[in-house]
Amino acid sequence: MDEEIIKPIDVMNNDELLSILTIKKENFNNEFRSKVANELENRGVKLDEILNVVKYKLNNEEILEVDVASAYEKISLLKEPLDVLYFINYMAEYLALQKNSDGFIIHHYAPKVGFSSFFLEDETMLKSSLNEFLIFGNWLPEGIDIIEHWETFAESTSSAYILRLAKMLDNTDVVYSINSNRLTRFSSFSSPYSIVLPIENMDEAAEVLTKIDELGKNLHEKLEAAEKKEDIDLQLELLTELESVTPEDSLLFYNKAQLLDEKGDYQNAADALIESFNLDFSNESVDDIEDIENYLIEILEKVEVKGNILHCLATISAFKGDIEKTFKYYTELVTLDENDKIAHLNLGHLFYSETEDDEKVKFHFGKFIELEPESDERAAIEAILENIA
């Protein structure tokens, strides 16, 4: 058997020594492995204790620890296709698990190698693979095909739309993975949510898009009939379903806002109107900005949750060039919630560009960095802070 002695034991770090006793053990003879074990013992590193501690997290929650025997129970935390469950071993590798109706998508990441993905239908096989991964064994199941090439099938700002597509894909034999800020496997997408497929499945999956278009037409026909009957509750029900079929249609949300206002449901009416505005604003096609602004101001005192409305009013004011009102709304937001990171970010920019109050610039930018330390904005903000230091 080939031996793989790269450098003396005493200059190897703990991870290198541990890998010799685990994932690379077949490359070394018993005598050498015994010496490595003695070295780790002299350093106070106990292999059994290390192998029994498992780190895991669900979605964007904090990382927790359990023992290996309890780790398998965590698979039950996967409730919907958007969920991602991470298991992290001592070597800082992780397995990210997603579940659909047919089985599990597993994404593996190793710091020096990168990503790979595969699909497992059998939960027993998954648990066996997970066990080997956690104890640094040969965790990749035999006969499993690594998915080499993924392609974006659909993307959207709407999680409801993505989940509807996923449910429809569940009725096919197509393997898919849902991408969002919960999963770090894919990063080449422009919307908050996307579905990616093995490239060879794209043509088969296209039938799902045809079906969802047909569903949209059918729902619009039902909506027209409900409008003629002046059945507000049925219209609202159909509009809500249409949101998960054609989520980029701002008119749906505008109509929903009007109906909710008629019912006196001002909170949800405001949310629907803001969604309609955001869609049009992103497409640079807002025609009735004054009406939207006046309506939101009118109902601001009628609702309990004001943050969404204030953010929209601040955006409208900035769009119109009304700096005084923009300051006003963002200041109200941080008074309402001192941890509103977007309000702090925008106040930092406003104080920097519109005033000479460097202390306020430092305060709001500093608060934003505290709340969002990994933000892409950080480098630009630090350049501003260095400039005014």
Rounded Cα distance, 142 and 139, in Å? 9
Burial profile 66-82: b = 16 or more Cβ within 10 angstroms, e = fewer? beeeebbebbebbeebb
Same domain, yes or no: 112 and 171: no
Same domain, yes or no: 183 and 123: no
Burial profile 344-372: b = 16 or more Cβ within 10 angstroms, e = fewer? bbbbbbbbbeeeeeeeebbebbebbbeeb
- Whether residue 200 is contained in a domain is answered as yes
Same domain, yes or no: 266 and 383: yes
Mean pLDDT, to the nearest integer, of 275-301? 90
Q: Which of 204, 212, 277 is nearest to 241 (CA)?
A: 212
- Whether residue 165 is contained in a domain is answered as yes
Same domain, yes or no: 316 and 350: yes
- Whether residue 261 is contained in a domain is answered as yes
Sequence-separated (6 or more) residues with CB below 8 Å from residue 332: 306, 310
Same domain, yes or no: 120 and 167: no
Residue 161 has pLDDT above 90, yes or no: yes
DSSP 8-state symbol, 99:
E
What integer pLDDT is reported at residue 1 of this predicted model? Answer: 38
Sequence-separated (6 or more) residues with CB below 8 Å from residue 324: none
Q: Is the pTM of this model over 0.85?
A: no
Antiparallel, parallel or unpaired: β 114-120 and 104-110: antiparallel
What integer pLDDT is reported at residue 256 of this predicted model? Answer: 96
DSSP 8-state symbol, 181:
T
- Whether residue 146 is contained in a domain is answered as no
226, 248, 270 - which closes a domain: 248
What integer pLDDT is reported at residue 2 of this predicted model? Answer: 45
Residue 107 has pLDDT above 50, yes or no: yes
Model pLDDT for residues 52-70, shown as the tens digit of each residue: 888 999 999 999 999 988 9
- Whether residue 144 is contained in a domain is answered as no
Find the DSSP H helices in the chain: 14-21, 30-42, 47-52, 68-71, 123-134, 159-169, 202-228, 232-243, 250-262, 266-282, 289-299, 307-320, 323-336, 341-354, 358-371, 378-388
134, 165, 187 - which closes a domain: 134
Residue 188 has pLDDT above 70, yes or no: no
Phi-psi region of 115 (alpha: psi -120 to 50; beta: other; left: phi over 0): beta
Same domain, yes or no: 19 and 97: no
**Percentage, residues of the chain above pLDDT 90:** 68
Structure tokens at 114: 């990168």
DSSP 8-state symbol, 5:
-
Same domain, yes or no: 380 and 308: yes
Q: What are phi and psi of 187, to 5 degrees?
A: -130, 0
- Whether residue 3 is contained in a domain is answered as no
Sequence-separated (6 or more) residues with CB below 8 Å from residue 180: 82, 159, 192, 193, 194
**CATH code at position 341:** 1.25.40.10
- Whether residue 142 is contained in a domain is answered as no
Same domain, yes or no: 226 and 273: no
What integer pLDDT is reported at residue 351 of this predicted model? Answer: 95
Residue 36: which domain range?
9-45
What integer pLDDT is reported at residue 6 of this predicted model? Answer: 62
Q: Are 208 and 216 in contact (CB under 8 A)?
A: no
Q: Which of 249, 242, 244, 322 is nearest to 285 (CA)?
A: 249
Which H or E element spans position 152? Answer: strand 150-156
Burial profile 216-225: b = 16 or more Cβ within 10 angstroms, e = fewer? eeebbeebee
Q: How confident is the model at residue 189 (pLDDT cuts 50, 70, 90)?
A: low
Collapsed DSSP state (helix, strand, coil) of residue 192: coil
Q: Are 182 and 97 in contact (CB under 8 A)?
A: no
What is the chain's mean pLDDT, rounded?
91
Model pLDDT for residues 228-280, shown as the tens digit of each residue: 999 999 999 999 999 999 999 999 999 999 999 999 999 999 999 999 999 99
Same domain, yes or no: 166 and 82: no
Structure tokens at 368: 């934003």
Same domain, yes or no: 168 and 234: yes
Domain total of the chain: 4
Handedness of CA 325, 328, 331, 336 (dihedral sign): negative
Q: Per DSSP, what are the bridge partners of residue 86?
A: 57, 96
What integer pLDDT is reported at residue 355 of this predicted model? Answer: 92
Same domain, yes or no: 303 and 370: yes
Same domain, yes or no: 296 and 369: yes
Contacts of the segment 54-61: beta carbons below 8 A, 24+ positions apart: 54/87, 54/88, 54/89, 54/134, 55/87, 55/88, 55/89, 56/85, 56/86, 56/87, 56/88, 57/85, 57/86, 57/88, 58/83, 58/84, 58/85, 58/86, 59/83, 59/84, 59/182, 60/181, 60/182
